[in-house]
């Protein structure tokens, strides 16, 4: 396999990088990364040995080393259905144009972009139309996009995201097909979980009342105790996001000795379980607080999906490299 130089923009905790690392192995050499969140930078450095550069808007393209592949999971809060859908009216939404600037200046062989599922439909499709037009018409790349679900790639989480892959040359590309392997919540659970992850009886009672109010109003929102033999809901933050994936864990509660926990043995997911839901290996190091790590995991990506797409990209680029160059026909 040919060698590739990569840059990791809006890197978060390195989920996209990890997927490409797993796919490319020694053929991958990361030459640049950026992330503005200090806590994410701590986690990134602990796991990859490099400290990401900060604000990409202040980095000139000339100061970025030459590279072959650009990776970016650009800020999605501005486009998420969990937020206010402000899109390009939100400052975070304009970060796409920083990516476009770097692609235009550096002209990589290919790029990989990730965002929320509803990015394609935001503002009646006008946002995505602008992105597509910029990448194809202005920058001259062949663009492919598709929504993929993490549960179709061996993860116990229902998480749909849109993925965009572009090539400098006109190349035919196919996104990976779903895997047959299916996992459940039971596959990612830790044993002997600390008692502090269990809800107090008072808080659980509050959640029940809150859910009842929403049900009476037909809002359909409230806490959810997962069926361990099924798939988890999408990891989300904000509001009652952490209560959308609760677990009943009688064994851990009994061993923890906690006396003020709820009588139903309901607990939150641990940071390690959240990482497992995203496909991070247990060798991935937790270097920040449990609250910060859970937030980082929820904001990250499904690593096996990234790996599967990366393998397809490498296959496509390898086939392009090995294809014979045809001489023009002359009469």
148: part of which helix (H) or strand (E)? strand 142-149
In whole angstroms, what is the distance from residue 300 CA to residue 250 CA?
A: 29
41 catalytic per annotation: no
Strand, helix or coil at 109?
coil
Enter the tokens of residue 222: 């409230």
DSSP 136: I
Q: How many CB atoms lie within 10 A of CB 229?
A: 9
In whole angstroms, what is the distance from residue 16 CA to residue 25 CA?
A: 14
In whole angstroms, what is the distance from residue 87 CA to residue 98 CA?
A: 15
Q: How far apart are the first and last CA of the chain?
A: 38
Which of 64, 71, 76, 143 is catalytic? The answer is 76
Q: How far is CA 185 from the centre of its chain?
A: 19
Q: Taking the alpha carbons of 18, 20, 22, 24 in that order, is the dihedral positive or negative?
A: negative
Residue 159: left if φ>0, alpha if ψ -120 to 50, beta else—which one?
A: beta
Active site residues: 76
């Amino acid at each position: 396999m040919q060698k590739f130089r990569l840059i990791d923009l809006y890197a978060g905790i390195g989920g996209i990088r990890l997927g490409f690392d797993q796919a490319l192995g020694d053929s991958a050499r990361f030459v640049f990364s950026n992330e503005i969140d200090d806590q994410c930078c701590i986690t990134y450095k602990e796991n990859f040995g490099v400290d990401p550069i900060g604000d990409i808007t202040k980095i000139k393209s000339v100061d970025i080393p030459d590279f072959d592949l650009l990776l970016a999971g650009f800020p999605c809060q501005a486009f998420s259905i969990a937020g206010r859908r402000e899109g390009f009216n939100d400052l975070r939404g304009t970060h796409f144009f920083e990516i476009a600037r770097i692609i235009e200046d550096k002209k990589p062989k290919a790029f990989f972009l990730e965002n929320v599922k509803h990015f394609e439909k935001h503002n009646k499709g006008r946002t995505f139309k602008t992105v597509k037009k910029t990448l194809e018409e202005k920058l001259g790349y062949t663009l492919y996009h598709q929504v993929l679900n993490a549960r179709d790639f061996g993860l116990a989480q229902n998480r749909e995201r849109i993925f965009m892959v572009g090539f400098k040359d006109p190349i035919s590309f196919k996104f990976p097909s779903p895997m047959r392997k299916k996992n459940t919540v039971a596959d990612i659970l830790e044993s002997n979980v600390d008692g502090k992850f269990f809800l107090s009886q008072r808080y659980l009672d509050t959640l029940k009342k809150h859910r009842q109010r929403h049900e009476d109003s037909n809002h359909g929102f409230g806490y959810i105790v997962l069926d361990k033999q099924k798939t988890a809901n999408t990891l989300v933050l904000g509001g009652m996001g952490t209560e959308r994936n609760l677990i009943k864990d009688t064994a851990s509660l009994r061993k923890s000795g906690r006396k003020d926990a709820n009588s139903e043995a309901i607990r939150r997911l641990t940071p390690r379980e959240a990482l497992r839901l995203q496909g991070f290996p247990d060798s991935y190091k937790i270097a920040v607080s449990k609250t910060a790590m859970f937030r980082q995991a929820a904001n990250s990506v499904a690593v096996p999906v990234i790996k599967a797409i990366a393998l397809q990209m490498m296959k496509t680029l390898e086939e392009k490299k090995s294809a014979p160059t045809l001489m023009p026909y002359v009469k």
